Amino acid sequence: MKKIAENRLPELYQALSAERKLYLPLEEGGVVGYGLYSPEKKTALTAPSTVKSPKELFFPQVEGVVNFQMQGKNIDILPIEMPKEDFVVMGVRACDVRSFDVLDRVFLSDPVDGYYAARREHGTIVSLACDQPQNSCFCEAFGIDAAAPAGDVRCFIREGVLYWQALTDKGQALTDSLFGLLEEAGPAGQEQQEAFTAETKEKLQALPYHGLDLSAFTPDRLGELFHDPKWKKLSQACLGCGSCTFVCPTCQCYDVRDFDTGHGIQRYRCWDSCMYSDFTMMAHGTPRPTQLEKFRQRFMHKLVYFPSNNEGMYSCVGCGRCVRKCPIHMHIVKVIKALGGKKDE
């Protein structure tokens, strides 16, 4: 385990960004989000959460797929170059690190998404353990340890010191590139980690959603959950705005569209939402025409469909962003509590 004084973080940022791009939480206009580091920007590494997750760095909100150049009746296909720049994402919380496991199962399964795969190959994730979880957090329900996130490198900050531990070969290579800047933490590092973990777990146990029960959401109850009459009442207030999907770190739906430039076509993909009225629109219409069906689809996918096909891994990581951003406060926690009664209850 390595360490560096917290007041020397600007030196660490400079070293990390010297040979590669560095993305980390930045504050702008009172809002914290992931952005490209530069010395003049206001960093916010210890902010408890960002508005959006770092998903966009691997699966951009808008991304070119292919271009078509037309001259008369001749059409030239101009493929988009695959991403090939190395970059580091620093300050990723445990919930967001887990979200990459979910996305990997979607984009790295056959057929592999080349754009996503290239970014995963060139990206190094430096996670940061939580020391101030928010009231909207519930990652514990999904077996996520906020005090010990995964990633290529794991960090935590305590008593003015950032502790740094490489977890993968990629993380070790990044650590080796910082030779002379990071110091050995020694036995004291392990002691600090144990104390940090104990403090964080105590805070997690005091959160409003601690102990959230997911035991009712099992494959054998699919039909029962699908036809539960509670969906009608739960979905009535939903605006279909899609805010929950756009802040969600695991949502992966996208649309493919064409833009006419006047001398060619730019084909691109962009995030889509199962909450929209034209989602999966086909010639005969949409397979889920009512708001109840759209609303049910979102939460059934997170809690039943995805885990049924992925060894029990839920497609929610308990980051709490949808809890904070839903304008009518009808979020996944309310759905879990409303439908979570066991068979004999």
DSSP 221-268: GHHHHHT-THHHHHHTT-----HHHHH-SS---EEEEEEE-SSEEEEE
**159 and 35 belong to one structural domain:** yes
Domain extent, residue 246, equals: 219-254+272-339
Q: Is the dihedral of CA 269, 274, 275, 278 positive or negative?
A: positive
What's the pLDDT band for 288 if we cut at 50, 70, 90?
confident
Q: Residue 73 has what DSSP assignment?
A: T
Identify how many contiguous H helices and E strands the chain contains and give both numbers: 12, 12
**97 and 234 belong to one structural domain:** no
In this structure, are strands 123-128 and 153-158 parallel, antiparallel, or unpaired?
parallel
Q: What integer pLDDT is reported at residue 98 of this predicted model?
A: 98
Type of residue numbered 44: A
Task: Work out the percent of the chain whose per-residue pLDDT is above 70.
Answer: 97
Residue 315 lies in a domain: yes
Q: Is the dihedral of CA 12, 18, 24, 25 positive or negative?
A: positive
Spatial CA neighbour of 158 closest among 27, 4, 10, 50 = 4
What's the pLDDT band for 345 if we cut at 50, 70, 90?
very low
Count of the separate structural domains present in the chain: 2
Angstrom CA distances, 73 to 78, 189, 257, 263, 264, stand at 16, 68, 22, 12, 12
* CA-angle at 252, arms to 249 and 124, nearest 5°: 55
Residue 211 lies in a domain: no
Spatial CA neighbour of 287 closest among 226, 244, 278 = 278
**114 and 140 belong to one structural domain:** yes
Average pLDDT (95-116) is 97
CA–CA separation, 246 and 242 (whole Å)? 6
Element (H, E) at 32: strand 31-36
**192 and 286 belong to one structural domain:** no
Of 208-222, 277-291, 306-320, the one with minimum mean pLDDT is 277-291
**101 and 243 belong to one structural domain:** no
Helical packing angle, 114-122 and 94-107, nearest 10°: 140
Q: pTM of the prediction?
A: 0.92
